Chain A
Amino acid sequence: MTSHEADQLALIERVRAKPLRFRDERITMAHGAGGKATLTLIEGLLAPVLGLRELDDAARVDGLALTTDSFVVKPIRFPGGSIGDLAVNGTVNDLAMAGARPLALTLSLVLEEGLPADELRAEIEAIAAAARTAGVEIVGGDTKVVERGRCDAMYVTTTGIGAVDERAQLSPASIRPGDRILVSGAIGEHGTAVMLARGEFELEAPVESDTRSLWPAVDALLDAAGPALRCLRDATRGGVASVLNELARASGTAMVVRERDIPVRPAVAGACEILGIDPMYVANEGVLVAFVAPDDADAALAALRSVVGCEDAVEVGEVKTEPPGLVLVETAFGGRRVMDLLVGDPLPRIC
């Protein structure tokens, strides 16, 4: 590499390190995809105007954790779950990632005129069942109906409250060079299941959403590693790649991931290969990424593997010092490359 190229790369990193500015004239679908456009919207508009200081999965207030999340998935039912399951597990998991035992949820429904009552009943029953499994109560809510075409079957918002576990000291700022990066299970299942369920690809594969409560996994990790557990994220929208990028940026560290260790089941790998999509960017609803101090990583991994749904947990990489803010992949082929945030949704390639 010439010094000119190195200078240019250094300049780019300086440009990237600047605070993000929201300059778009309109909201596009990219702003909802969990990549750079979403980050720009949050860091460039929402956080500064609202005075949000910490951008985490859940806010912590006096020993309690509070979070809210909206669900607009289409179709509302897909192999392995439905919007009702997501609405409970998604919010429960945001609490869990803050190290909080989920206690209660409120539920807000926006229903489209004409929605068949059977479909609604099925979702309410799914919500009740998922809440029982996750050990949370639904304690209140709200219902609105909008004209046909003003929403897509139903939108669900849940707000959750949890008790921050006293063993938990989780924060992106706690991440240190040397920490090990664990992934709790096979990745890309939820996003692939939903993509295929949309029926746009004329592809079929036995893939089910991994939607589940991750509190049992967090409980086991806290038990095994305590304060050595530095930070947790569930790898939802944007996938594992986006989580790693956000945390590398937030903690000012580098992260190096070994591609060959990343767990991807053959059906997901095959579907993604055909579509030209990297499973690292595909959404999960039951996979977390954990950062653990090196001495406790083995114990944490063993604990994680004992939890139902996390049997395939693995260590996939390590936190480094240089180059700060970047996520690098050691490819299975023996090369090395950057793994950046995407701008918007991963798009299938032309040819």
Chain B
Amino acid sequence: MKYVDEFRDAELGRVLAAEIVASVEPGRHYKVMEVCGGHTHTIYKYGVDDLLPENVELVHGPGCPVCVIPMGRVDDGIAIAKREEVILTCFGDMMRVPGGSGTFLEAKAEGADIRMVYSPLDALRIAKENPEREVVFFAVGFETTAPSTALTLKRAKQDEVGNFSVVSNHVTIVPPLRALLESPDLRLDGFIGPGHVSTVVGARPFEFIPADYGRPIVVSGFEPLDLLQSVHMVLRQLAEGRCEVENQYKRVVPYDGNPAALAVLAEVFELRPHFEWRGLGFISSSGLKLGPDYADFDAELRFGVPGVRVADPKACQCGEVLKGVIKPWECKVFGTACTPERPIGTCMVSSEGACAAYYNYGRFAREREVV
């Protein structure tokens, strides 16, 4: 596949891996967090960590859009979906995320009309095709997916689609990173910055990480060579005593982001005073809700959701996993009570969740001989 295979070249990977080995101080242990769940997925899927020296540890961060959805929000979605007149639409990853009273997949089996879509525009099309029904899009994601929700809302308003509305669970990337950096148990040497989010917001918003917290960050692409190169760039900053925002993903990410996408976000959404994150609790100014011009399309207002906060299951340590404080396998229920078949925590659901990635791809004692 042109323009993809080039970034999966094993030979170049070995060259980069050798350079990484050469750039680390032998006695030092390096902890680098990849913020984005997409990176976590790539690392495990291609075995990128197999190519790193033992003293370079990749720590998985909070940037998985499905993982950060608190249980109460899933329950709100189910409450809306169970209304006779409603067709609830969502991305496939959401179907198995557990709320306090089950998952969308289970609610669907109980009779709720829940449909998987691949774009919010598909949800709008369903609304136009079913004028007698209320069609609700359960929106999740960081600034990566929020512009497509915003554009869909603009279209809905323009076309006067009165039976369409959105439950916005959109979140922003900077507040959880700041919360993470404020955390006293943080021991990270640097960050691999989220590439997809940065296509929208740019690399500039991450300047506070080196400026305020003294950690280097390299915005990275999603192919295995991108990740190896980004790890190398972080390590080189550390070796050279530099601390700055670097952009490895220049082929896609402009330093100042995508102004058109940012404009549509500003037009459609406004910041919530605070928003609950799974495992991380409430974070100020971290969630997006529909602004006053689009309040008519706000499903939370239209249907009056229960909005009950459901505490995470006691055994679940998703918060510690999302903060990189523990590795997935260190969670008490990992792989035993919490599995991809019967997830307790969200990190075990999405393919971008650290627990699911580790369970599905990394669950293998590497020293153990294959014979």
A binds B: yes
List, in ascending order, chain B residues with CB within 8 A of A350's CB.
65-66, 91-93, 140-141, 145, 350, 352
Instruction: Select which of B50, B93, B360 is within 8 A of A335 by beta carbon.
Output: B50
Number of interface residues of B (CB under 8 A): 62
> B87-101: contact bitstring with A at CB < 8 Å (1 yes, 0 no)?
000011101100000
Q: Are A270 and B1 in contact (CB under 8 A)?
A: yes
How far apart sit A4 and B327, CA to CA, in the bound complex (Å)?
Answer: 11
Closest to A26 in B: B109
Does A323 lie within 8 Å of B365, measured CB to CB? yes
Complex Cα–Cα for A111 and B1 (A):
42
- In Å, the complex CA distance between A269 and B8 comes to 14
Q: Would you list which residues of chain B between 168 and 200 have a CB under 8 Å from chain A?
A: 196
Say yes or no for B260: interface residue by CB 8 A criterion.
no
A50 near B: Cβ within 8 Å? no
Distance A340 CA – B48 CA, assembled complex (angstroms): 18
Nearest CB on B from A258, distance (A): 12
CB distance from A242 to the nearest CB of B (A): 13
Q: Does B351 contact A (CB under 8 A)?
A: yes
Whether the Cβ atoms of B364 and A343 lie closer than 8 Å is: no
User: Is B371's CB under 8 angstroms from A343's CB?
Assistant: no
**A29-37, A88-96, A230-238 - the one binding chain B:** A29-37
- Which of A142-150, A158-166, A296-304, A324-332 participates in binding chain B? A324-332
- Is B108 a contact partner of A333 (Cβ separation < 8 A)? no
Residues in A neighbouring B319, C-beta threshold 8 A: none
Contact B108 A28 (CB under 8 A): yes
Residues from chain A with Cβ under 8 Å of B329 in the complex: 5, 8-9
Contact residues, B16-42 vs A (CB, 8 A): 38, 41
Given contacts A26-B109, A351-B65, A351-B196, contact A1 B1 (CB under 8 A): no
CB A168 to nearest CB in B, in angstroms, measures 29
A351 to B92, CA, bound (A): 11
Most buried by B among A37, A254, A269, A337: A337
Q: Scan B336-367; emit 1 where CB is below 8 A from any A CB, else 0.
A: 10011100000000111000000111111111
A334:B50 contact, CB within 8 angstroms: yes
- For A276, the chain B residues whose CB sits under 8 A away are 351
A196 at the interface (CB under 8 A from B): no
**Residues of B contacting A25 in the complex (Cβ-Cβ under 8 angstroms):** 106
Contacts of B41 on A, CB cut-off 8 Å?
349
Whether A27 is near chain B, meaning CB under 8 Å from some CB there, is yes
5 contacts across the A-B interface (CB closer than 8 A): A12-B334, A333-B13, A337-B45, A349-B38, A350-B145
Nearest 7 A-B pairs (CB), nearest first?
Answer: A335-B47, A347-B92, A12-B335, A335-B50, A337-B361, A26-B109, A333-B46
